A and B are shown apart, each in its own frame.
Chain A
Amino acid sequence: MPITAEMRETARGKMHAESFSSRFKVFWKNVYRSLFRYGRMPRDAEGQSYAVFNNLFLHIHPVKVSKHSLKFTYTLGLGVIATILFLILTFTGIWLMFYYFPSATEAYNRMLDLRSSVDFGFVLRNVHKWAAEAMVAVVILHMARVFFTGAYKPPREFNWIVGVILLLLTLMLSFTGYLLPWDQLAFWAITVGTSIASYAPVLGEPLRKFLLGGDTVGQEALVRFYVLHVVILPGLMSIFIAIHFWRIRKDSGLSHPNENGSSARGGAT
């Protein structure tokens, strides 16, 4: 129930007469209501609708979803897991940035610091690393799920393409991150990887030089990979994930066995 001006007046009137604790309660209630207009735990249909509708973060969701789309055996939760992994990677990644330094002489020492002198630094690095590996696998499995359920067919063609872009971004994020520890594994994997690029006709060699900022993997390459890894690619990823979710809603939610008609146009839900 929304607070009316009248109720606020009575609340103010009472404040003069009543104790500090009841004043505080009113104050707290006003603060709380300014944040969440529709009370605590929603219990009825109206409250449940408003809870999603009035919250920026929840508003990514539609107010209602089909039962079929909630079946774990249908999606295997893979898209949601990919999203969760991306969030965890963003969080741990920013945290790692406090300790990391993209310098060919310093980067490796920072890795050793994470193991020895930073509190729980090894957990931080390990979570980031395993989440990154998992994300590549989960995104590929999600693509397989979408294919095997025929969920790329009209009207979802465009979202499949957004998905392909997300897959490429995921691979590029993982690949650019690979160089940052600056150990033998990192250095030679990127040396091998970027030399493959140079086999492409015409564009290959310039592309490799552009990525590395020179002829070999060195300080310039490290800075370029770092900027790609912490700014450009995560930024693009966030934008394309937003488009992906927006499109799911414009395509009327997830694919469904009872979908009808071939002239589906989609629309707001």
Chain B
Amino acid sequence: MREVNTKEVFPKNSNKTYGLMELVKGTKPTVGLQPDDMVFTWPHLLIRELVLFVVVAGLLLVAAFLFDAPLEEVANPNHPPNPAKAPWYFLGLQELVSYSAFAGGVLIPTLIVVALILIPFIDRKRIGVGVWFAKQRAFANGLFFTFLLVMLVLIIIGTFFRGPNWDFVVPWE
């Protein structure tokens, strides 16, 4: 009869309430990483987080002393300002609303959210991951960049180039 190896590869450690149960074959993103690529969170990551915190908090304090948050007259339902503007991040949509309320206010925002959710299910090929602007991803990146650029331009128009009655104005005049 063949002798079965009874010696465990990873002997039980009585100090632990858990143990190694089995080894499985499989792959996950860390499989490609060499141990040399890994460093301890303490201190390498934590010190970076701390530095970022100090920088962000410092910049905010400086900004808070230099620039006051806007505060206008008390709200008056009888005196609408002209134009009444939404917060800056919605001014792109408000600009679109000025062409078509339904398209700018409902259709396009809905499409944007649906498209964002679908992105990772449409573009699944795992190439060009982990680097900025990978050549293999030029098309996808170009598309997304165009989208961001269009939103930015619309926001700039809505913020600076729209005056009373949402007419076109030039900010430096």
Nearest CB of chain A from residue B142's CB, rounded to whole Å: 10
CA distance A189 to B119 in the complex (A): 31
Do most interface residues of chain B lie in helix, strand or loop, or is the interface mixed? helix
Nearest CB of chain A from residue B92's CB, rounded to whole Å: 12
- Beta-carbon contact of B106 and A130 below 8 Å: no
Q: Is residue B33 contacting chain A, with contact meaning CB distance below 8 A?
A: yes
CA distance A115 to B64 in the complex (A): 12
- A148 and B133 in contact, given A252-B28, A259-B126 (Cβ under 8 angstroms): yes
What B residues does A200 contact at CB under 8 A? 105-106
Among B105, B140, B144, the most chain A Cβ lie within 10 Å of the Cβ of B105
- A61 and B68 in contact, given A149-B129, A164-B113, A264-B29 (Cβ under 8 angstroms): no
Which range holds the interface residue count of chain B? 35 or more
- Beta-carbon contact of B120 and A193 below 8 Å: no
- Beta-carbon contact of B39 and A81 below 8 Å: no
Of the listed stretches A4-12, A19-27, A121-129, A225-233, name the one at the interface; the rest are far from the partner chain. A121-129
- Beta-carbon contact of B116 and A187 below 8 Å: no
CA distance A144 to B101 in the complex (A): 28
Mask for B83-110, Cβ within 8 A of A = 1, else 0? 0111111100110010001101110000
Which residue of chain A has its CB nearest to the CB of B35? A64
- Beta-carbon contact of B53 and A84 below 8 Å: yes
Q: Is residue A234 contacting chain B, with contact meaning CB distance below 8 A?
A: no
CA distance A257 to B121 in the complex (A): 20
- Beta-carbon contact of B27 and A66 below 8 Å: no
Q: Is residue A206 contacting chain B, with contact meaning CB distance below 8 A?
A: no
- Beta-carbon contact of A188 and B80 below 8 Å: yes
Do most interface residues of chain A lie in helix, strand or loop, or is the interface mixed? helix
What A residues does B20 contact at CB under 8 A? none
Mask for A105-135, Cβ within 8 A of B = 1, else 0? 0001001100100000011011111110110
- Beta-carbon contact of A188 and B29 below 8 Å: no
- Beta-carbon contact of A157 and B120 below 8 Å: yes
Q: Is residue B123 contacting chain A, with contact meaning CB distance below 8 A?
A: yes
Mask for B135-150, Cβ within 8 A of A = 1, else 0? 0010011001100100
What A residues does B72 contact at CB under 8 A? 183-185
What B residues does A42 contact at CB under 8 A? 42
Q: Is residue A100 contacting chain B, with contact meaning CB distance below 8 A?
A: no
- Beta-carbon contact of A85 and B56 below 8 Å: yes
Q: Is residue B67 contacting chain A, with contact meaning CB distance below 8 A?
A: yes
**B interface with A by C-beta (< 8 Å):** 26-33, 37-46, 48-49, 52-53, 56-57, 60-61, 63-65, 67-77, 79-81, 84-90, 93-94, 97, 101-102, 104-106, 113, 116-117, 119-121, 123-134, 137, 140-141, 144-145, 148
Apart from A80-B49, A129-B69, A147-B141: 14 A-B pairs, beta carbons within 8 A: A58-B41, A88-B56, A130-B60, A148-B132, A152-B120, A153-B125, A154-B124, A154-B126, A181-B71, A183-B74, A184-B81, A193-B90, A199-B101, A255-B130
User: 16 interchain pairs (CB within 8 A)?
Assistant: A61-B41, A65-B44, A70-B48, A122-B64, A134-B60, A144-B148, A148-B145, A150-B128, A151-B129, A155-B29, A157-B121, A171-B89, A181-B71, A187-B75, A257-B131, A260-B27
